Each structure stands twice: as C-alpha cells, then as structure tokens.
Amino acid sequence: MGLILDTSILIASERRGEAVEDLLLRARVVYGETDIALSAISIVELTHGIYRGKTDADRIRRRIFFEGVVRDLIVHPLSLEIAQLAGRIEGEQAAIGNIIAFEDLLIGATALHLGFDVASLNAKHFQRIPGLNTVNL
C-alpha cells in the first residue's frame, strides 16, 4: 500500500512555499509510514508549469521545487501494463458516458497498478475511476 501524489497536491505545496520534505512529513503524519510516489505524468505537468511561469522568479522557484520532487520521490514510469490498464478503464468508462481527463486517467491507472491510493485536492476527478481510492492531505 502507498500513495501516489496527484499534481494538484504538489502545486499547492509549491505555492505555499513548502519544501518537498514538509509535504512528505505531513503525508506520513496523516497516513503513517507508507510509500509515497508520483506518476511520470506529474513530471510532465510540473515541467509545463516551470515553462509557463510569468516571471524569472516564478520559473526559478518552480524549478527548485521540481528538483526536490525528483530528488525525494520515486517516479513511476508509464509502463505497458499501466498503459493497457488506462486504455481499458477509458474504453469502459467512455462506453457509459463517463469521460476522464487523460492526465487523471494515467495517474489513477498508475496507482491502481501499484495498489496505491491517490492523494489529490481534486478527488472528484479520480472518483470517476472504478476501484481507485482517493484521499486528501
């Protein structure tokens, strides 16, 4: 059992000026000693945020936070198994009219594949994925 952190958790932490270590400590206080990791999709989203920064100061702050993320967290790649799981979930859910944002789908499929929960500030997005447990930090 463990936690996959959704990008929303990371962005909120960075905006509050927290270090990644603070975020991990808070997560472990709430959930105990558990594996805490990311989907590679969050790396795409965080990198996007760095380059969207409006000022040099924003981009530098985001890059420093990003460096802490990749230093302190395991990043799970998009594997063949995760891609197939995501495709199955998306196809089944689309067939019944349930549309899931692609990024959330891949993050959720990563968590399901690993047997992890997803910690998100947007739990509603992930509740569209059957069998996935979402938690708040």
- Rounded Cα–Cα distance for residues 137 and 8 (Å): 11
User: pLDDT digits over 114-129, tens only?
Assistant: 999 999 999 999 999 9
User: pLDDT digits over 11-30, tens only?
Assistant: 999 999 999 999 999 999 98
Model's pTM, two decimal places? 0.93
Question: How many independent structural domains does the chain possess?
Answer: 1
Residue 137 has pLDDT above 90, yes or no: no
The values of phi and psi at residue 67, to 5°, are: -60, -40
31: CATH:
3.40.50.1010
Residue 75 has pLDDT above 90, yes or no: yes
What is the span of the domain harbouring residue 131?
A: 2-135
User: What is the mean predicted confidence (pLDDT) over 76-99?
Assistant: 97
